[in-house]
Every structure is written in C-alpha cells, then in structure tokens.
Amino acid sequence: MSKTKKVVVVSDAFLLSAGVENLVLELSGMLVDHVFNGSERKLCEKIISKKPEFVIIDPKSVSDKLLPMLRELDEEKDIKIIGLISQGLSQNIISKFSYTLNIQDNKFQLVEALQKIVGNRDQEIIGNEQLLSKRETEILRELALGLTNQEVADKLFLSVHTVMTHRKKITRKLGIKTVSGLTVYALMNNLVDIREVERQV
Amino acid sequence: MLLEKEMKLADVIHHDYNLIPVINRFGIMLGFGDSSIENICQEKQINQDFFLTILNAFHDPQYLDKDSQQNFSATLLIDYLQQTHNYYLQNKIPEIECLINEMETKAEVDKASYDILRKFFEEYKTELIKHIEREEKRVYPYVIELEKAVINNTIPPSLLSRIKEYSITSYEDEHESVEEKLKDLKNIIIKYLPPSEKQQSRYKLLKELTVLEKDLNDHANIEDLILVPKVELLEKHVTGK
C-alpha cells in the first residue's frame, strides 16, 4: 500500500467540510487530516505545518484574505491547492485556483474531478499487481515449507534483510500476511506439493 | 448516532442489524414489541449503563474514544466477555466449519483446495481457542480477584505480589495474529480459491467470516478500551499508587 495522502480543508461551514471529508474518503489512500476555520489566525502557517499534499479551500470562508493566502501557499511547491466553487463566486476568484471542484456537481462528477486532480495513484502497483517475481516466488516457496527468514536467507545465499524486504512485497502483492496463509496460497497454486508441506510438519 | 435509553430497541435493530448477536448475548429475544431500551433493561434486570455502553461500542467503534466514567463492575464486563467467547466457540465456529464441509462435499473439482482451506481454518480455530483459554484462565480470574479485594478492602499478599509480576498493562495485544489469519482466509477465498460454479456456499462462508471478523474486532476494542483502563484503576487502588 502506498503512503496516505493528507488533505487539509479550509471552511467555516460544517456541512461543507463534512461533505468534503466524505468525498475524500471515496478515493483510497487519502484522508482529511484537519479542517481549519477561514478566520483562524496564522492560518497559512498552520496549514503548512500539517505538511498536506492537498489543501481544499472554500474561498467564501477566507473572504478578503484569500489572495495573500494563495500567494503564500503557492510558495510551497509540494502542496496542490483546490478551490471549492459555489454559486455567486466571481470569475476573478475562480481564475486564481489551478484546480477547482464545483459543489453543485453530483457525487460521481466530483469523485472523477478529484481523481483527476490527485492523479493516477498506485500506478506502479496496478501495473504488476499479483505477479510475483522469480525471486519472490522462490522465497514464497521456502516460507510455505515452513522455513524461517534466517533459514531462507542461508539457503538462497541472501541476507535476512533482503528476505524480509521480499517478504513484505509478497504480502503486499498477495494480501496475505501469515505463514499459514502463504502456505495455502502456495499449495493452491502448485508452487509446493502437499506432501512436501506435510513432511515439514 | 448515539444510542440512548429512551429509544425503542426495535428502531435500534432496524438501524443496525449487526446488533442482533449483541442483544442475544444479553438474553433478549426478538419479539419485544415497542419497548424502549430502558424498559427492557428493567424487565430483564440488565444493567442499563452497561448494555448501552456495549450497544454503542458495537454500533460505532469511535464511541469508545470518549472517556466516560462507566457505572458497572469489571466482573459484569467479564461475564459478558465470557458469553461472547461461548458464542464464538459454540455458534460461529461450528457454523463456519459446516459451510467449509458443505463446500468440500459439493465440489466436483479441486477437492484438494478445499481440504487445504479446511486445514487452515482448523489452525485458526486452535489459535483462537488458545487465546480464549489464556484470557479465561489467567486474565479474567485475576481481574475478578482484584475487584473483590477492592470491594472488601482486604488485599491478600498473594495478590499484591501478583500485580507486581503480572499487571494488566502487560496484557499486550495478542489479538493480532488471530486477526491476521482471518484476514488471510478471506483474501484466499476472494482471490485464490479456484472458481467454481457452486458459489452460494462460498458467499455464505465469506459473509460469516466477515461478521465474525467485525464481532472479534469490537470484542477486542471493548477489552482494550473498557476492561484494561478499569483494571488499571483497580490496580492503582490496591497498590496505593
């Protein structure tokens, strides 16, 4: 699993921020870390200290402080700023945001829009999902037969650290963590033979 | 939603049917009409605060984050936890075993896969039983003795030395490996058990495993977030620290 992406919301309206939190949860690997009120003092400082990947701002909640705030946040290269567009907002303000979400949109439009802004997540995992490398298969086989990390390392002339790294990758790809679970997987996929396993037990 | 004593139990169950096994553990049978939680507790002589705590904890795990001073004894809580254990061992586990057997008998191909699955579940069961026995033989009697000592205000020296050598804080989270196995089992069924035409018992099995998983999680939460803090208080009281 990839690292969770942090989102910070700036909004005074509870219903709006609750809605944004819900929307963010629709995308896996993202969560709202904090909701700030637009009128809070030292708002930019507080936002930046949270080290978020995304800041979602309701421009109405910051009113006249919006422009200096956007200027300050723009300095932070790692933060993407998303504006919430609602009725009656001037074109001038809308144009200040590089990314926007329209609060009048329906759920699927919003999810799609946010997904586009966030970018294609986990591409690397989706690409070679499930497919174990040759080395990983080899290690899985030994683990399924009941060998410990140390024993696998000795047998395959690897360091324990390497074996553990491979093991983490195997678990991530298969979604199976326990040794017995790995054994079941190996058996079902004919990576090991039931008699081999029983001999070990 | 916070569940409160004025609510009709029927409405609560409509709202969250996961609570059915919970009310069952309190000896409440369906068919309670329009009675409120308060009335049912009076009628059945159930400690209302305790019942509401458990209902809320199962309904919304976040409920346990707020620290409220609960008005019930550790012994009552342990009695409940033990009933939950019985429910797992006498109802849930046999039900699941039955489903796995059913799948195995019905299967025309890949019989070996089901056999592997059954063995894996047996291993899980052994581990779960071991875990439950440890709690019932070591942890629970200790807590009951501790509470008795506080109520009677007489502390046997044996208890004092026991606190020193084994306090509840060392009741470290052992649930983990049991939990992981259950997760693996679900993943194996969803992703890796060879597909077959006969899907019905597989769906049923998956549903039962999911229900069991949620129940075990809530159970563990109640132990970690209600039992452990309660016992820590008792320990402090006894050692006078």
Would you say residue A115 has pLDDT above 80? yes
Nearest chain A residue (CA) to B110: A188
Nearest chain B Cα distance for residue A201, angstroms = 13
Residue B65: is its pLDDT beyond 90?
no
Each residue's pLDDT tens digit, A134-165:
999 999 999 999 999 999 999 999 999 999 99
Decide if pLDDT at B169 tops 70. no
Q: What value does the mean pLDDT take over residues A96-122? A: 88
Which residues from A are below 8 Å from B188, CB to CB? 176, 181, 184-185, 188
Look at A175 and B187 and tell me if their CB atoms are within 8 Å. yes
Q: Which of A1, A171, A188, A195 to mutate to test the interface with B (most CBs of B within 10 A)?
A: A188
Residues in chain A: 201
Nearest CA to B173 out of B231, B143, B217, B234 is that of B217
Q: Is the pLDDT of residue A64 over 90?
A: no
Tell me what pLDDT residue A40 has: 86
* pLDDT at position A196: 80
Query: Would you tell me which residues 25-84 of chain A have a C-beta closer than 8 angstroms to some C-beta of chain B?
Result: none
- Which secondary structure element, helix H or strand E, spans residue A80, and what is its range? strand A80-85
Beta bridge partners of A100: A83
pLDDT of residue A125: 47
Is the Cβ pair B116, A188 closer than 8 Å? yes
Q: H or E stretch including A149?
A: helix A149-156
Mean pLDDT over all residues of chain A? 88
- pLDDT value for A63: 83
| pLDDT value at A170 more than 90 | yes
- Percent of chain A having pLDDT more than 70? 92
Query: pLDDT band at residue A7, thresholds of 50, 70 and 90?
Result: very high
Q: What is the pLDDT of residues A18-37, one digit of tens each?
A: 999 999 998 888 889 999 99
User: Is the CB of residue A193 less than 8 Å away from at least one CB of chain B?
Assistant: no
Distance from CA of A133 to the nearest CA of B (A): 18
DSSP letter for each residue of A5-60: EEEEEE-S-HHHHHHHHHHHHHSTTEEEEEEE-TT-TTHHHHHHHT--SEEEE-HH
Stretch among A66-70, B79-83, B159-163, B210-214 having the lowest mean pLDDT: B159-163
Question: Is pLDDT above 70 for A123?
Answer: no
- Strand-pairing partners, residue A35, are A9
Q: Does residue A92 carry a pLDDT above 60? A: yes
Q: What whole-number percentage of chain A has pLDDT above 90?
A: 64
pLDDT at A1: 42
Higher pLDDT pick, B52 / A123: B52
Taking Cα atoms as reference points, which of A14, A25, A12 lies closest to residue A57?
A12
Q: What is the pLDDT of residue A201?
A: 52
- Residues of B in Cβ contact (< 8 Å) with A183: 120
Closest Cβ–Cβ partner in A175, A177, A183 for B191 = A175
Task: Using an 8 Å CB-CB cutoff, list chain A residues near B183.
Answer: 175, 177
pLDDT in the model for residue A130: 64
Mean pLDDT of B199-226: 90
Rounded CA-CA distance B224/B134 in Å is 16
Average pLDDT, chain B: 88
User: Is B112 within 8 Å of chain A by CB?
Assistant: yes
To probe the interface with A, which of B192, B193, B196 has the most A CB atoms within 10 Å? Answer: B192
Give the confidence band of B172 by pLDDT, cuts at 50, 70, 90. low
Q: Which two tokens stand for residue B27?
A: 């000896």
With contact defined as beta carbons under 8 Å apart, do A113 and A26 qualify? Answer: no
Flag whether residue A1 sits within 8 Å of chain B, measured between CB atoms: no
pLDDT at A27: 87
Predicted confidence band of residue B64 (pLDDT cuts 50, 70, 90): confident
pLDDT value for A78: 87
